[in-house]
Amino acid sequence: MLINFFRAIVLYIIVLIVMRLMGKREIGQLQPFELAIAIMIADLASIPMTETGVPISNGIVPIIGLLVMHLIISTINLKSIRIREIICGKPRILIYRGKIDEVALKKERFTLNELQERLRDKDVFNIGDVEYAILETSGQITVIEKPNKRKTIPEDFGIMPDYEGVPYDLVVDGKIMDQNLKKIGRDYNWLKKEVKKFGFKPEEALLVTFDGKGQIFCQKKEKKGK
């Protein structure tokens, strides 16, 4: 039992490292070859994890081999558009200028109900509001609504909003984010002074953020036991 426990930990660490090296895609955005590799890795890891008679290397070596294969295919994809199309496929337009392309639906084995369901996922409930719907190689659908149905933006009214920038976490659960302080050109003394306005020290804060407008959000950690 103890052997299975340690084998599971080792294989988990190996799989975690391999998946981390494969990139940061979400599961729904994996290309077909990436999904195939992910499934095979899970299968290879499960056998030596439960079968103590199987050497753990029987799982680790093939998993590393799949990682190498993934890196090779990814490199080829970056260098060759033609090979990329063969391996990953090409995006296909399902709705073109407001008209559903029946031929494209059949080629992709997409039903109208599936198309409507995917549109609802994009908060589009009337298929008549769609100008273009593109099925991406990852299986996701990109929707471009008709001009009169799109959500308005400040530019439509000739308004230029103030620059907002990216908010920075300066304190997270009492830990000072020194790198973020440097990025905004501030130091600990400035942070201490600003947090003191809220009645406590930076080390007592649950979260302190600083946005592009210079606004600070600050919340104190609750005391244990409360």
pLDDT digits (tens, 9 = 90+) for 83-117: 887 877 889 999 999 999 999 999 988 899 999 99
- Do 176 and 207 share a domain, yes or no? yes
pLDDT of residue 29: 63
Whether residue 38 lies inside any domain: the answer is yes
- Do 134 and 60 share a domain, yes or no? no
Domain count, the chain: 3
- Do 78 and 132 share a domain, yes or no? no
Whether residue 156 lies inside any domain: the answer is no
- Do 80 and 100 share a domain, yes or no? no
Residue 100 vs residue 68, higher pLDDT: 100
Q: Across the chain, what does the average pLDDT equal?
A: 85
- Do 97 and 78 share a domain, yes or no? no
Domain span at 208: 168-220
Burial class (CB in 10 A: 0-12, 13-18, 19+), 8: middle
Whether residue 113 lies inside any domain: the answer is yes
Residue type, 196: K
pLDDT of residue 97: 93
Please identify, among 39, 71, 86, the residue that sits at the C-terminal boundary of a domain: 86
Whether residue 75 lies inside any domain: the answer is yes
In contact, 167 and 211? CB cutoff 8 Å: yes
Q: What is the pTM of this model?
A: 0.62
Give CA–CA dist 28/19, Å, rounded.
Answer: 15
DSSP alpha helix (H) spans, the chain: 2-22, 32-50, 57-79, 81-88, 102-107, 112-121, 178-183, 188-196
CATH number at residue 181: 3.30.240.20
Three-class HEC string of 119-157:
HHHCCCCCHHHEEEEEECCCCCEEEEECHHHCCCCHHHH
Whether residue 74 lies inside any domain: the answer is yes
- Do 58 and 24 share a domain, yes or no? yes
